[in-house]
Amino acid sequence: MTVDFYRHLPGADYDYVILRAHSASDEWRSSTPPTGLMTLLFTSERYSRTAHPRDYERGLFARVRMYYPQEVKYFGIGPHFINQAMVGEFNETVVVAMGCRTLESDPLAEAFLAKGAAAFIGWTDDVSADHSDATAERLLQQLVNGTSPQDAVARTTAAMGPDPAFGASLRVYQSDE
């Protein structure tokens, strides 16, 4: 998933967006809100100060790192990018972000909802890939069968439980929270 993939994601008019991407929480300090603890989604695009110069100058990216098997830096996007660089609006899309800590704090979910998403579903802490994948499969079965995001998360959580390795819980963020 490149920077431009994320940039144009709202215009695709999906009912569901499943983001199976690494993510990380970090303190974001900026002169414009939001600031504080927030989740950043990894792109698959290696970080470079010369790529996307206009967005770079506007402070819309973070540099995120993978450490295994060696350190590699990628572009990370968060609420600033979603609010200021994403093109178009979601049409009541349900966003399922299966990476670690995608709902440890609310700014990422709030940004997706401000762009027209109906709900944002994610994890409260680190999560193992196996548990995240199995939970996502069960969750999506619920959603495509017409279950509301709130009920789908509740039913999926009852069946799957928290992540056995890290204790992460699945959570839903909706505008009526």
**Residue owning tokens 């967005």:** 55
Question: Does 177 score more than 50 pLDDT?
Answer: no
Confidence of residue 14 (pLDDT cuts 50, 70, 90): very high
- In the chain, the number of structural domains is 1
Neighbours of 62 (CB within 10 A): 20
Spatial separation of the C-alpha atoms in residues 18 and 58, rounded to whole Å: 27
The residue range of the domain holding 13 is: 3-174
Can you tell me the mean pLDDT for 58-72?
82
pLDDT digits (tens, 9 = 90+) for 117-137: 999 999 999 999 999 999 999
Exposed, middle or buried, 114 (CB in 10 Å: 0-12/13-18/19+)? Answer: middle
pTM of the entire structure? 0.90
Lowest mean pLDDT among 45-54, 57-66, 79-88, 99-108: 57-66
